[in-house]
A and B are shown apart, each in its own frame.
Chain A
């Protein structure tokens, strides 16, 4: 059973306080959305569809939200709108619906412990500034990186990322 039609989907949304009866469709969320000014994202409509059990997992506007939280801050009903978007995104990713660039970021995290790892150009910039070529993060401490990888494996993050 797909999570879109399953009761799990709605119960997971319940935890974020996006109960459809709470929303009065005033549109403050959509009107406050900086992404919606320039893209086809319509937050009110996206969550309305999700609550009706319509498929939103493949809706590409799900990923045009910058998580700026304007909608959540201004919602007169106090609905945790961005938390709901995170929840829907997580369900999509667990169903294997993931943008290729985001998949790459997940792989970089597993490999380096950084979503944005160092490169040759920036090692040179660091040295030109009189700094060590590598920062004092997991980049300089192999044991710390092993720990991060072990933790990611324990959370089954590597399985999630390898399931394309």
Chain B
């Protein structure tokens, strides 16, 4: 890594926000993230005592006051540390940055939320930022520097799935293109992989908005369509940036196979798992073999790398 790039990213002290799905359903992603952060020499500590972000689709739908109060409590934890939050989930990123932006921009709203936080001796100040690991790595480390650290380039074809809340609503996000973004593809290609274009690439996985939890057949209809487009493109795996998309695309395949007798078997990896492979860690160390959809041929291909 160049000296200037290193200096730049040393300015960012981060706290890792785990959310719910990663630590409690896909712990391999949590481990992969920590291995990658260490390799990239990023100063990041656990955000201890954090709760659910809370989940935007359902809990924000229920009651905005509760959603804001709970997300701002999580933000006060990182304000205490003087660190920015690093999220590894689009839902957490969306929830926390929407709340952070709204509260920073609206004094009355901030006062109202602080009246609730006072009950637990906390105060939202609005001093920190919320980041998502993909846009953070892209902007602070840059794909070229990541490529330099790759020890085992991956010669595989990848279907990149951005997920909705990484980019939208654009007024609250990175400012990068919503319809045809490329930053995540560039990060994937820094590992040596090829990001393959496919139809409806930017389309939703089907899980968000509380659809997966209450209306699973409707959610699966969207997932099935997405999978069929990915299968038509001929890829070795799907790479995402969100554990909820990850779960929908992973468990969705086994659900569809059970329901319809289909044989979907596309491996699903979070970006940190892909990057971990390129840094030389094994499938088992990164917990990729703990998915619902297991593809032996993919594991063998990874293991047989030079």
List residues of A whose CB falls within 8 A of some B CB.
34-35, 37-39, 63-70, 72-73, 82, 86, 89-90, 93-94, 98-102, 105-106, 109, 113-119, 122, 125-126, 128-131, 135-141, 143-145, 147-148, 150-152, 154-155, 157, 160
Task: Determine whether B69 belongs to the interface, using a CB cutoff of 8 Å to chain A.
Answer: yes
- Give every chain A residue within 8 A of B46 (Cβ-Cβ): 136
- Give every chain A residue within 8 A of B117 (Cβ-Cβ): 151
Q: Tell which of B30, B49, B207 has the most Cβ of chain A within 10 Å.
A: B49
Task: Determine whether B252 belongs to the interface, using a CB cutoff of 8 Å to chain A.
Answer: no
Task: Determine whether B109 belongs to the interface, using a CB cutoff of 8 Å to chain A.
Answer: no
The segment from B3-11, B50-58, B128-136, B271-279 found at the interface with A is B50-58
Given the contacts A137-B51, A140-B48, A67 and B56 also touching, CB distance less than 8 Å: yes
Interface of B is mostly: helix
Closest 9 CB pairs of A and B: A144-B49, A135-B23, A69-B168, A38-B221, A67-B209, A89-B61, A101-B214, A116-B20, A113-B51
Q: Once the chains bind, are A116 and B48 in contact (CB under 8 Å)? A: no
- Give every chain B residue within 8 A of A125 (Cβ-Cβ): 27-28, 287, 290
What CA separation (Å) do A100 and B214 show in the bound complex? 8
Size category of the binding interface on chain B: 35 or more
Q: CB within 8 A of A157: which of B66, B122, B204?
A: B66
Q: Once the chains bind, are A102 and B210 in contact (CB under 8 Å)? A: yes
Q: From residue A32, how far is it (CB to closest CB) to chain B in Å?
A: 10
What CA separation (Å) do A72 and B56 show in the bound complex? 16
What CA separation (Å) do A39 and B24 show in the bound complex? 30
Q: From residue A129, how far is it (CB to closest CB) to chain B in Å?
A: 5
- Give every chain A residue within 8 A of B48 (Cβ-Cβ): 136-137, 140-141, 144
Chain B residue at minimal CB-CB distance from A152: B66
Task: Determine whether B146 belongs to the interface, using a CB cutoff of 8 Å to chain A.
Answer: no
Q: Once the chains bind, are B64 and A144 in contact (CB under 8 Å)? A: no
Given the contacts A113-B52, A131-B30, A34 and B24 also touching, CB distance less than 8 Å: no
Q: Once the chains bind, are B211 and A64 in contact (CB under 8 Å)? A: yes
- Give every chain B residue within 8 A of A39 (Cβ-Cβ): 218, 221
Q: CB within 8 A of A106: which of B59, B64, B165, B290?
A: B59
Which B111-154 residues sit within 8 Å CB-CB of chain A? 116-117, 119-120, 122
Chain B residue at minimal CB-CB distance from A83: B169
Q: Once the chains bind, are A105 and B204 in contact (CB under 8 Å)? A: no
- Give every chain B residue within 8 A of A117 (Cβ-Cβ): 20, 24
- Give every chain B residue within 8 A of A143 (Cβ-Cβ): 49
What CA separation (Å) do A70 and B23 show in the bound complex? 29
What CA separation (Å) do A73 and B46 show in the bound complex? 34
Q: CB within 8 A of B24: which of A67, A68, A118, A130?
A: A118
20 residue pairs from A and B, CB less than 8 Å apart = A34-B206, A64-B215, A66-B219, A72-B168, A73-B169, A73-B170, A82-B169, A90-B64, A102-B213, A113-B52, A116-B25, A117-B20, A136-B46, A136-B49, A140-B48, A141-B48, A144-B51, A147-B49, A152-B69, A155-B69
- Give every chain B residue within 8 A of A101 (Cβ-Cβ): 213-214
Q: Once the chains bind, are B69 and A135 in contact (CB under 8 Å)? A: no
- Give every chain B residue within 8 A of A126 (Cβ-Cβ): 23, 27
What CA separation (Å) do A27 and B29 show in the bound complex? 40
Task: Determine whether B186 belongs to the interface, using a CB cutoff of 8 Å to chain A.
Answer: no
Q: Once the chains bind, are A147 and B73 in contact (CB under 8 Å)? A: yes
- Give every chain B residue within 8 A of A100 (Cβ-Cβ): 214
What CA separation (Å) do A100 and B210 show in the bound complex? 12
Q: Once the chains bind, are A72 and B169 in contact (CB under 8 Å)? A: yes
Q: From residue B36, how far is it (CB to closest CB) to chain A in Å?
A: 15
Q: CB within 8 A of B31: which of A66, A73, A131?
A: A131
Q: Once the chains bind, are A67 and B164 in contact (CB under 8 Å)? A: yes
Q: Once the chains bind, are A68 and B28 in contact (CB under 8 Å)? A: no
What CA separation (Å) do A130 and B58 show in the bound complex? 33
- Give every chain A residue within 8 A of B122 (Cβ-Cβ): 147
Task: Determine whether B222 belongs to the interface, using a CB cutoff of 8 Å to chain A.
Answer: yes
Task: Determine whether B13 belongs to the interface, using a CB cutoff of 8 Å to chain A.
Answer: no
Q: CB within 8 A of B218: which of A64, A82, A151?
A: A64
Which B165-198 residues sit within 8 Å CB-CB of chain A? 165, 168-170, 178
Q: Once the chains bind, are B24 and A116 in contact (CB under 8 Å)? A: yes
- Give every chain A residue within 8 A of B116 (Cβ-Cβ): 151, 154-155
